[in-house]
């Protein structure tokens, strides 16, 4: 059995240029999380306009994170999750009501 350890993650924001026309950008957040945490994360991309987050979610998946995208039927705007699903970034595609349960299940695996 592994010894339990406590870790602390500190998030810093920067006043940098917009990415994907967004500031703050989900892609920037996900890339940072993937680089720092590798396979110790579960990432979720929810409803939103555009494609911000799709590349970042893929980067997370490629670094071992478990990934979820919201399904089309439960989205107000399906742009961001759709892009992530189309680029292969979403391991699971679930309705909004199932996101929390899916996060827990993936984290326990």
What residues does each domain of the chain span?
26-108
**Helix, strand, coil percentages for the chain (3-state, nearest 5):** 40, 15, 45
Phi, psi of 25 (to 5 degrees): -115, 135
Class of domain 26-108: alpha beta
Q: Give every strand in the sheet of 66-70, ordered side by side.
A: 42-45, 66-70, 92-94
Average pLDDT, stretch 5-31?
86
Q: Give 30-70 pLDDT, tens digit per residue.
A: 999 999 999 999 999 999 999 999 999 999 999 999 999 99
**Which pTM value belongs to this model?**
0.89
CB 50 within 8 A of CB 21: yes
Q: What is the pLDDT of residue 6?
A: 62
């Amino acid at each position: 059995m592994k010894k339990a350890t406590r870790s602390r993650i500190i998030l810093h924001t920067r006043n940098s240029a917009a990415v994907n026309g967004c500031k703050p950008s989900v892609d920037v957040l996900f890339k940072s999380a993937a680089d720092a945490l590798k396979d110790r994360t579960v990432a979720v991309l929810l409803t939103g306009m555009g494609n911000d987050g799709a590349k970042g979610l893929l980067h997370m998946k490629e670094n071992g994170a478990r990934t979820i995208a919201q399904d089309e039927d439960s989205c107000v705007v399906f742009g961001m999750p759709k892009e992530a699903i189309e680029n292969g970034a979403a391991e699971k595609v679930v309705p909004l009501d199932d996101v929390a349960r899916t996060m827990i299940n993936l984290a326990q695996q």
